[in-house]
Copies of this chain bind each other. A is one copy, B any other.
Amino acid sequence: MRAAIIGGTGYGSIELVRLINKHPFLEIGSVVSNSQSGSSFSGIYPHLSEIIDQPLEKFDADTLSENNDIVFLATPSGVSSKLVPQLLKSGIKCIDLSGDFRLRSMEEYETWYKHKPADEEYLKQAIYGLSEIYPDQIKSSNLIANPGCYPTATTIGLIPILKTNLADEKSIIIDAKSGVSGAGRGLSLTAHYSEINENLKAYKLGAHQHIPEIEQVLSDESGNPITITFTTHLVPMTRGIMCTIYVNLKEEISTKKIIDLYKQFYQESHFIRVRPEGNIPSTKEVLGSNYCDLGLHVDERTNRLTIVSVIDNLVKGAAGQAIQNVNLMNGWDERTGLTDIPMYP
């Protein structure tokens, strides 16, 4: 199968290229970048030299459909809402890595993203691609809204406890930390080396656009409307997300029992590794891989559960989960092309 990539010069695209290259059933088809069309891909990214030297193309829905079997959109927010309708009409399936099709509520989208949402018709078709939770809907979908990096780490960490009656749902606090690649390749002072290196920075307090996405999923899974406190931090490293999540427990329960409950919940999920008691994952332990690792600890002094959830933001938080979804859509083993051991150290 030939896979096209739109948004060819961002970090999401480049990670898709890396993963498609090692997938046994996928090959790289068209790579689209309107701003750089005509340039050679390896001219912009020299690490691709002698591997992928093809020129970047201009967007054209029909040509793309003819020459490819599936399309990944790794575009800034507000772009794929315009391209996806054309692509679906031309008969090709779409995996959108941006936020454009993740929120069901058009009002919420406009409030948090500050521009026009996608058309209702397409929002209704879109399936939220949290692979471990919605595999069946993903299988039969033409349009996947691939989850955000923070929402992936957060919801995988929280859903099992919300499925019990143990969590005080008003008490959820997510202290999230991300490497700088999450900010993309666009130049800005907040990704300028000398400003960020040897620095730890909190940003967008209570204002991050991933908040409504997380709340939508958690509310769906819990059955009750959930409002969270969510703080994001920029950590001086390139890749990796850690969400440290706090939930008050409504009754006393041991760390061991919580771990059993999580292991049970994720027993079929190859990419979720629930760590044993006393073993808390760090971000480097999933570097370059599609794993989401979970560490769990009940503080007996306060009867509060701490969940530590780590992913590689560019893999399980973006390109890797997109590939996992393509695997599901095609009835392949969800691990196909994603079996790499994390790169350590």
Chain A residues at the B interface, C-beta cutoff of 8 Å: 11, 14, 17-18, 21-22, 45-52, 170-171, 173, 175, 177, 179-181, 183, 185, 187-189, 191-203, 205-206, 227-229, 231, 233, 235-240, 242, 244, 246, 273, 275, 279-288, 293, 295, 297, 299-302, 304, 306, 308, 310, 339-345
User: With A17-B341, A195-B345, A340-B22 given, is the CB distance from A200 to B240 under 8 Å?
Assistant: yes
Residues of B within 8 A of A287 (CB): 47, 198
Given the interface contacts A201-B282, A240-B198, A283-B200, does A341 sit within 8 Å of B173 by beta carbon? no
Q: How far is the CB of A53 from chain B (nearest CB, A)?
A: 11
CB pair A229 B246 closer than 8 Å = yes
Q: Please list 28 pairs of residues, one from A and one from B, whose beta carbons are closer than 8 Å in the complex, sorted by A's number.
A: A17-B341, A21-B341, A22-B340, A47-B284, A47-B285, A181-B194, A181-B345, A187-B188, A187-B192, A191-B193, A191-B194, A194-B238, A198-B239, A198-B284, A199-B240, A200-B237, A200-B242, A200-B284, A201-B283, A202-B242, A202-B280, A205-B295, A227-B301, A228-B302, A229-B299, A235-B236, A236-B236, A288-B288
The 7 A-B residue pairs with the shortest CB-CB distance, nearest first, are A199-B284, A201-B282, A194-B345, A175-B175, A47-B285, A187-B187, A206-B299
Q: Which residues of B contact A299 (CB under 8 A)?
A: 205-206, 229
Determine whether the beta carbon of B302 is less than 8 Å from that of A229: yes
A193 touching B199, Cβ below 8 Å: no
Residue of B nearest to A199 (CB): B284
Residue of B at shortest CB range from A206?
Answer: B299
Q: Which residue of B lies closest to A172 (CB)?
A: B302
A22-B196 contact, Cβ under 8 Å, with A49-B293, A235-B235 = no
Q: Verify B341–A46 contact, CB threshold 8 A.
A: no
Indicate how many identical chains form the complex.
Answer: 4
CB-based nearest B residue for A278: B205
- The residue that A200 contacts in the complex, of B18, B45, B51, B282, with Cβ under 8 A, is B282
* Inter-chain contact A246/B173, CB cutoff 8 Å: yes
* B177→A185 contact, CB < 8 A: no
In the bound assembly, the distance between CA atoms of A188 and B187 in angstroms comes to 7
Contact partner, A49, options B199, B238, B273, B308, Cβ 8 Å: B273
Residues of B close to A50: CB separation below 8 A = 273
Known pairs A175-B246, A185-B189, A192-B192; list 9 more (Cβ under 8 Å).
A47-B344, A175-B175, A181-B345, A197-B197, A200-B235, A201-B282, A229-B301, A236-B236, A288-B343
Partner among B47, B181, B231, B246 whose Cβ is within 8 Å of the Cβ of A306: B231
Query: Smallest distance from the beta carbon of A304 to chain B beta carbons, Å?
Result: 5
List B contacts of A306 (CB < 8 A).
205-206, 229, 231
In the complex with contacts A173-B246, A344-B47, A197-B238 CB distance below 8 A: yes
**Looking at A187, A228, A345, which has the most chain B CB atoms within 10 Å of its CB?**
A345
Q: Are B237 and A236 in contact (CB under 8 A)?
A: yes
Q: Does B46 lie within 8 Å of A285, measured CB to CB?
A: yes
